[in-house]
Structure 1
């Protein structure tokens, strides 16, 4: 039995090539990346990571370094479910979601990577395997782009191999959103998968008004029309908005997803492997979705997420997120005619260039 000997946590700031904007987070010039490296008594290492938008990364890194590491050292690295439960209850009183599950996520991802490395199997096969080719969409973070730049970005996405695109909505004047969506639909043509993301901007009545205004444009889904805390309001939007509703990047526990699904507050569960409790949490949400006959999508960290969706028969499009790490990954995800292919490398197969990242002090 190999036991966990070392847990290393690092915090980095990753600059974005372009300034990105959505309706709630404001201007984003960079993001904080929290990495975890777990080494066992056989000398094998697994790597995991999570991220935060604008703020909060130091809290996540400190939770891992000061608290979760004590749950791990000396324990069997293969007993991931037991370790997950240990971490959950270690931080339950201090969090129960949010920073807690982001911290657990990074560790869980590293533990699964460690098993994949040692068994020399890619995670999507360890998870059961379905189809390594996963349909993928380009997630634009482009609310304040001038219209010409928005359409130019769409052309860039097409040239990169994408065959589905998501754009941001939630401007101060709904008429501007409608005009921009209309322009994108005309530019992309009928039948092209187009999604919009409001990033929780609207209240329920505003969301219903926007949903009705978008009906002529054949949207694949509307994402996060209102805050996730309003389960009843989200259910009203699903029932009366006449659109598929994707949500879940701000649901951080399987219990959050269970309530949303049971109350029909979303139609496409959208977990984020980096804040739902890692692969362990993501797979439990995937099982909930399948049991309720719902298609599964995803949010963020696409280089990691692809393994979960490659093992899910009910998946739909995976998001290729605007917060990419291509510059720091040895073999970044490639898009070909609308699909990405899960790698056959052991574990998750993401090899980070730690020397190229800019370290921050978590203290």
Structure 2
């Protein structure tokens, strides 16, 4: 008898705060959570896969409820299960979800499908009875698991009444929590003021190699080059998303003059967009980093296609450090050999951060040995996800 999906539930939940980057504030930010219940029973309970979308994009509730959830529920069991009918097949499910969807113009549907895809992979690993990172390493990798994954602390947001002292105190807190590298926002003030902020943080973290800066696409080419010129002597770990993520020419021209590592990709949501970045963005596979986030870009299913494209173009998976700061990307990093993962120790709760009782030590964190993505090992997140049951 073929496995069946019994129900799929979704709701939008707030992740609002007073922080802002150079482009948006998060005063009305929310996210979708989903639960996919199967008819498989483990330990006396039905297997339920959970998922959510990453911060920075609003809850795609309408797309999920009106289009993608009904499409998945209407699919025949043989169209969503493996050949034996004993587990869900994420690749088949991706094809079902994309039925009657035109190519190009990806829009927010990438976020909706990525949210469902996370829940599918959570269910798949739970049905197999293994952590997702082990399933990925064994079935899609070389069997090697990174027992500990590099993570950096993403913060340094602009906030009301937040001066240099408060910014330094924030960064001190990250170092005390076990992080060795921290990220701060830039582009939301004058270059001169941002340089003062950078210098204040460097007094806390020491070497520029311990500091990442993120402009969130704020600059035009002239501004991007001027900012790069102003900070190049600090030799920062990376200079992130200087301009519009789809302006590959800006990225390429900036790459010609900025001498150190750059990072981008968190707002590119498809294989084709990622391919265009590699073709036309002037990125350096020896020094630069790519930040594609599976939860925003059609899911892990599409992310694995992106990894294959990167390999064909001379890039290593060790150049990938995903945006999002969530457990899904942490599993991918551990199982498929990425360079690491972003972390949000202070914001976007309960989605930010990792399993309880797994402390960051020397800039690295471990993963729990439980089936699935590991949401059950993060109490505040699991409590929220269970409200869908």
2:294 to 253, 270, 273: 273
Give the Å deviation of 1:183.
Answer: 1.7
Q: In 2, Cα distance between the equivalents of 1:169 and 1:327?
A: 21
Deviations 1:301-350 (A, max 9, x none): 4211111111233x324100342316998737631221011222111111
1:105 aligns with 2:111: no
Q: In 2, Cα distance between the equivalents of 1:290 and 1:332?
A: 35
Q: In 1, Cα distance between the equivalents of 2:215 and 2:178?
A: 25
**What secondary structure sits across from 1:41 in the alignment?**
strand
User: Do the aligned residues in 2 keep the contact of 1:31 with 1:51 (CA within 8 Å)?
Assistant: no
**What secondary structure sits across from 2:19 in the alignment?**
strand
Aligned residue number for residue 140 of structure 2? none
Q: In 2, Cα distance between the equivalents of 1:133 and 1:146?
A: 34
Aligned in 2, Cα 1:89/1:265: closer, same or farther, shift over 3 Å? farther
Aligned residue number for residue 141 of structure 2? none
1:87 aligns with 2:97: yes
Deviations 1:241-270 (A, max 9, x none): 223221111101011101101224443111
Aligned in 2, Cα 1:333/1:37: closer, same or farther, shift over 3 Å? farther
Aligned residue number for residue 5 of structure 1? 5
**What secondary structure sits across from 1:12 in the alignment?**
strand
1:49 aligns with 2:52: yes
1:312 to 322, 336, 347: 336
Aligned residue number for residue 306 of structure 2? 285
User: Do the aligned residues in 1 keep the contact of 2:36 with 2:49 (CA within 8 Å)?
Assistant: yes
Aligned residue number for residue 136 of structure 1? 151
Give the Å deviation of 1:286.
Answer: 2.7
Relative to its length, the structure with more strand (as a share) is: 1
Alignment of 1:184-199 (within 5 A): 184-190=201-207, 192-199=209-216
- Which shows bigger deviation, 151-160 or 239-248? 239-248
Aligned residue number for residue 362 of structure 2? 337
Aligned in 2, Cα 1:347/1:72: closer, same or farther, shift over 3 Å? farther
Q: In 2, Cα distance between the equivalents of 1:54 and 1:280?
A: 20
1:19 aligns with 2:18: yes
User: Do the aligned residues in 2 keep the contact of 1:199 with 1:224 (CA within 8 Å)?
Assistant: yes
Q: In 1, Cα distance between the equivalents of 2:352 and 2:259?
A: 40
Give the Å deviation of 1:64.
Answer: 3.4
1:349 aligns with 2:374: yes
Aligned residue number for residue 267 of structure 2? 250
User: Do the aligned residues in 2 keep the contact of 1:331 with 1:350 (CA within 8 Å)?
Assistant: no
Aligned residue number for residue 121 of structure 1? 130
Q: In 1, Cα distance between the equivalents of 2:7 and 2:123?
A: 12
Give the Å deviation of 1:359.
Answer: 8.4
- Which shows bigger deviation, 71-80 or 333-342? 71-80
Give the Å deviation of 1:81.
Answer: 0.9
Structure 1 vs Structure 2 CA RMSD = 2.7
User: Do the aligned residues in 2 keep the contact of 1:124 with 1:132 (CA within 8 Å)?
Assistant: no
Aligned in 2, Cα 1:248/1:3: closer, same or farther, shift over 3 Å? same
2:164 to 125, 137, 147: 147
Instruction: Tell me how many residue pairs correspond in the alignment.
Output: 356
Q: In 2, Cα distance between the equivalents of 1:59 and 1:334?
A: 37
Task: Give the gaps of 5 or more residues in structure 1.
Answer: none
1:165 aligns with 2:165: no
User: Do the aligned residues in 2 keep the contact of 1:164 with 1:193 (CA within 8 Å)?
Assistant: yes
1:303 aligns with 2:327: yes
Q: In 1, Cα distance between the equivalents of 2:124 and 2:305?
A: 19
User: Do the aligned residues in 2 keep the contact of 1:11 with 1:359 (CA within 8 Å)?
Assistant: no
Q: In 2, Cα distance between the equivalents of 1:276 and 1:109?
A: 11
User: Do the aligned residues in 1 keep the contact of 2:325 with 2:353 (CA within 8 Å)?
Assistant: no
1:78 aligns with 2:103: no
User: Do the aligned residues in 2 keep the contact of 1:7 with 1:69 (CA within 8 Å)?
Assistant: yes
